[in-house]
Structure formats: structure tokens, C-alpha cells
Amino acid sequence: MGAALCAVSASIDVVVDLVPTIIDGGEQRKRELDKLTRQAYEQCEQNGARLDSIQISELEQMPLAYHTDGHKHRVQLTAIGQLNFQKFKHNEQQIKSKKKLSRIPIEKQPPANIKPPIQLNLKKKQPAFDDKGFWCIDAIDIEYIAYGTGILGCGGGGESYHCKLWCLEVLRRDKHSMRVAPPSYFASSSDLVIGIGFMGAPTVSHELLSNDHECLQAVNKIEEYLGKKINGIFSVEIGGSNGLMGLLVAASKQVPCIDCDEMGRAFPCLNQFLNFIHDQPLTPVCLCDIRGETVLITDETDLTSAKLEDICRKECTERGLVVGVCLPPLNNEQLQKYTIHHSLSRAWFLGEAKFNNPSNAIEAVARVGHGRVVVSDGKIISVERNTAGGFVRGHVTIETDGKLLIIDFQNENLIARYKDGEIIARVPDLITLVEQDSAEPLATEIIKYGLRVSVLVLPAPAPLTTSQALKYVGLKAFDYDIPDQESDSFQKIPMKSVWDVFLY
């Protein structure tokens, strides 16, 4: 019955060269995609569809990073149309004989060894704290945080899904293993803390999965080099999958995870972390790939944050575009001055807003994030991606209210502007696409033709809006010839923590 109700379809799955739009204005790309579209239409008509009813339902353009020849993309295209009944003659002679089917007894009771699925009530959750004031993370907290890190990823940082599963597995083995401390916990301490995360191109994660030990091994290497123990760990960027890595590694090291990061979102480059923006020590830095091979950078002679980014990006590219990174340790003064405080709490509150407001989740998330919904009913009509230099670059075109909104990205979304040139959002503010029905955040590697989306813009943390920071995280840092704008919108909005709301 389902097959009878379905439309007639035709699919094409090929590897072709698609030259970036910036090279020739998109002419070669348009010619190639138009040719494939015509082929899909012809094939769909041959399969029995009416030509006047055929339309493109899916169009995927996935850059193949491992191809060194040209600009190879895997293009998957599907055309659908209504069945053309004129092509088929009615068969007046119908088969009247029917085969009798033997009756198969149906077991009414499920097998005893099947366990019922675990149902989590994701509404009205409150954080739990131990006698030391540590925030004790449970499975519902992970669901909240994973959603929030997806919003704060601004399309980058990698999907949170796999890291969420790792966290849930750790909690299944030991439900008390994840503890979070506020940055103030280390204010009068002589302990060293350290930030960790992944580096690379998000699209590669679809084919090259992490072994989940890269960041842990990088921390171990730094401890071995320093001859000192690290007493606290945090995620260097709260956006995407990296936002959960601090919890995982801290649980493995049996130290508290710290409620902070060095970006308040996700950015593509190492030199965009706050401690590097403010000329803090650049070494030691350790990279670790999925095979467990490490690269330790210790020499600061003539080293700048830009050179460090180039060195690490080259190593990352040669090792498959996915490596775990451990940044230089911070003392308590550096932790207080050069990190974004309570970013893990911010992710939690975004998740709380989503799961407690199922009927208007998008507006609730924007409200809690002190942001706005700039597009509430859009349709993605084009996506262009290219993997080069260790990054995924491209743009997505969204049709909304008869206008075209174009969002450029380099791993993360950078600028949103209408085709007439009007800019509605730009870095360092956070630009995030969410699926319209589910309010789920959409990473740049999974957005595709036909998706119905809304676009959220959340204000950047205050430390990213200073003139010094804008040199690294503003539009000019991404080679746009557009003046940066300093903003004080976030400075008027204190970032609350779970301790402020539920404990103190």
C-alpha cells in the first residue's frame, strides 16, 4: 500500500568536480548541477512520472577531502513526480485465483530477555549538587547540555551526538563520575587546569570516527612533559561535540570539569582562543590522532599564535583532519581572566528551554539565550561546501518571505546577509540554523536541500566584542572587507550559572 501511494522517483549518485563559486562565480557548478538535474528528470519520466509534476526533493553536495585531484564532490540527487496513468493500459483480465497463506502462530508475549526501553522525563529537571558544591551530572543533564552545545556550535564544532552517547555510557558505568566545578572554585588555588577539544574539519567525522581517547592521551602527554598533575579540565570551546569533551576527559582523570571555555561558542582556528588573543603562553601544546600518535610542541622561539595555528593545521590535515588537542595549562589567575565563565551552564539552560517548551521551543531557546529569531520560516534551496586547508568552507542559501538569505561558513557560520547585501548577523555573534519542527540545531555538515529551518542569532560573550578580540574573531579576521562592529549587548546581560539559580 505504501509503495502504491508513493510518488515515482529517480536517483543519481555520482562523484563530479564542482569548482568553488569564488573562482568563476558559480558558472561551472551551475552547469554541472543543471546537467545532473536534467538527467534525473529524464530518468524519472522514464520510470513513469508525468513530466509537469517532477521536482527535486533531495540534493546533497558532499566534498571529498581525501581526493587531491580537482574539487571532487559526491552529489546525491533525487527527483520525484506523480504517476502518469496514460502510459499504462488497463489490464481487464485480473487473476482471480488466490493463494492460501498458511497461518503462522503469533507469540503474544515478548521474549523474557528483552528489556523495556528506558524512558527519561526531560521536563522540570533541577541540577544536583554534592556536599562540596560540585554539580553532579546525570543523563538528563547530558541531554540538556548536548542540545545547548549544538546551538552554541554555530553550525560547527562537530555534531554532539557521538559525544553524548559516550557520556551516557560513562554515566551508565558510574553515575557519580562526572562533577562540575565553577571557575571560582580554583580562585585561591595553586593547581593547574587545562583545556581540551578536537581540531579538524567537521565533514570528516561522518567517515572517520574518533576513538574517544585522543584528548585524554594529549593531556597525559602534557602531564608527562611537565612532571605535574592537572587538577581540573575544561572544554576549550563549548560549541558542538567539543562542549562535552571536558566532561569525558575529566571523568577519566577523576578530576572536576570546570564550567568555562575559551570561546563561548565555536570558532575554526586555534589563535581565536582567549588566552592566545591576549598573548598568553603558546606552549606546551599536544596533538593526538586516532592511532594514538602524539605531536608535542614546546619551542616558543619566534612562535606566534598564527604560526601555531599553521603548524597544528598542517599536522591535523596530514593525520586525517581529526586530532585531539590539549592547550597550555592555566594557573588560577589565567583561568579567571582568560576564560568565558559558566558556558557549560549556558548550554544547560538552552537545553532546559527546549525540552520544557515543546510547543514553542525555538522562541524559548532564543529568549533564554538573550537572542532573536531572524528567520522563522525558511527553506534551504542550495548548499555549497568545499574542504580545503583543513577547513570546510561554503555557504547555504535560504528562501524566506520571497527573499534569499545567504549564510557563509568556515566550519562555523560567519555572516548572514540577504542577496541585496543587507547584513542581519555577523561574527562574533552566534548564528545557528535549527530544524523548524524539532528545533534541533543543524551543523554545517548535515544541512541539505529542502530542509525547513529557522535562524537564531545569539549575542557573543563580552570578551569577544572588544577591539582586541575583534582582530581575531571579527569579519576582517576571515578576510571580509566589511568593518567590524563592537557590541555591548552581551555586557548588559550577566551569564547566570546553575549555582546562582539552584544552589545559592
Q: Give residue 118's pLDDT.
A: 60
- Coil vs helix vs strand at 373: strand
- Do 177 and 170 contact (CB within 8 A), yes or no? yes
Q: Which residues contact 264 (CB under 8 A, 6 or more apart)?
A: 152, 238, 340, 343, 346, 460, 461, 463, 464
Burial of 139 (0-12, 13-18, 19+ CB in 10 A): middle
Q: At what angle do helices 139-152 and 242-253 cross, to 10 degrees?
A: 140
* Alpha carbon distance 82, 64 (integer Å): 34
Q: Give residue 91's pLDDT.
A: 43
Q: Give residue 488's pLDDT.
A: 46
* Alpha carbon distance 343, 151 (integer Å): 12
Q: How far is CA 147 from the centre of its chain?
A: 10
* Alpha carbon distance 171, 175 (integer Å): 4
Q: The pTM is what? A: 0.84
Q: At what angle do helices 343-355 and 139-152 cross, to 10 degrees?
A: 100
Domain boundaries, the chain: 2-85, 128-345, 370-499
The grid coordinates listed for 107 are 507469540
CATH class of 128-345: alpha beta
Nearest to 147 by CA among 351, 435, 352: 351
- Do 296 and 185 contact (CB within 8 A), yes or no? no
* Phi, psi angles (nearest 5°) of residue 312: -70, -35
In the chain, the N- to C-terminal Cα span, in Å, equals 60
Q: Cis peptide before 428, with omega less than 30 degrees from 0?
A: yes
Query: What's the fold here for domain 370-499?
Result: CV3147-like (2.40.390)
Kindly give the confidence (pLDDT) of every residue in the chain, 504 residues in length, as a single tens digit, with 9 standing for 90 and above.
776 778 899 999 999 999 888 888 889 999 999 999 999 999 999 998 999 999 999 998 888 766 666 788 899 999 999 988 777 654 444 444 444 555 666 666 666 666 655 667 888 899 999 999 999 999 999 999 999 999 999 998 888 888 999 999 999 988 778 999 999 999 888 899 999 999 987 767 667 777 779 999 999 999 999 999 999 999 999 999 999 999 999 999 999 999 999 999 999 999 999 999 999 999 999 999 999 999 999 988 889 999 999 999 999 988 888 899 999 999 999 999 999 999 999 999 999 999 999 999 999 999 999 999 999 999 999 999 887 777 888 999 999 999 999 999 999 999 999 999 999 999 999 999 999 999 999 998 889 999 999 999 999 999 999 999 999 999 999 999 988 765 544 445 668 899 999 987
